[in-house]
Amino acid sequence: MSEIEIRALRFDSPVAQSLIRAALADLGQRYGGSGDDTPVDAAEFELPDGSFLVAYLGGEAVGCGGWRSHGEAGDTAELKRMYTAPAARGRGVARAVLAAVEQSAREQGRKRVVLECGDKQPEAIAMYTSAGYEPIPNFGFYADAPGCLSFGRPL
């Protein structure tokens, strides 16, 4: 098995945008529509207020995830756009990206990570809960949507 390499890229880079389009298509198949209508600005994923990371296996971009600042206190990161290409699933890519996102947020002084997820993503829910994330009150764009689940964990 190839070693997973994680690289920080701009959210609006062609590689990141290709993975994000695939992530949104996957969500669209699960939930309908565009997949996720949450407002996102590429500038939110620039240090020190956020970061976007891409995972590579054998030189191919196969996964991504990022964080952006969340809330008034400035000590919370919101996890966004986690995705692993179907051919790379089950190989630890998502866990490697999640760990790298958490490390990046920690390095920028964040004390907690929060995320929104839908109930039609059982594999994501299983990964987050096994990584120590616990249910929290819903927040954000989909806070009142049926099937919205929110999780958080201290860093």
Residue type, 117: C
pTM, entire model: 0.95
What is the tens place of the pLDDT at every residue in 6-41?
Answer: 999 999 999 999 999 999 999 999 998 888 888 899
CATH topology of domain 4-154: Aminopeptidase (3.40.630)
Distance CA 155, CA 149 (A): 20
Domain ranges for the chain = 4-154
On whether the CB atoms of residues 96 and 6 are closer than 8 A, the answer is yes
Mean pLDDT of the chain: 95
Condensed to tens digits (0 to 9), the pLDDT of residues 75-115 reads 999 999 999 999 999 999 999 999 999 999 999 999 999 99
66 φ, ψ to 5°? -150, 175
Is the pLDDT reported for residue 1 higher than 60? no
| Predicted local confidence at residue 137, as pLDDT | 97
- Determine what percent of the chain falls in helix, strand and coil, rounding each to the nearest 5: 30, 30, 35
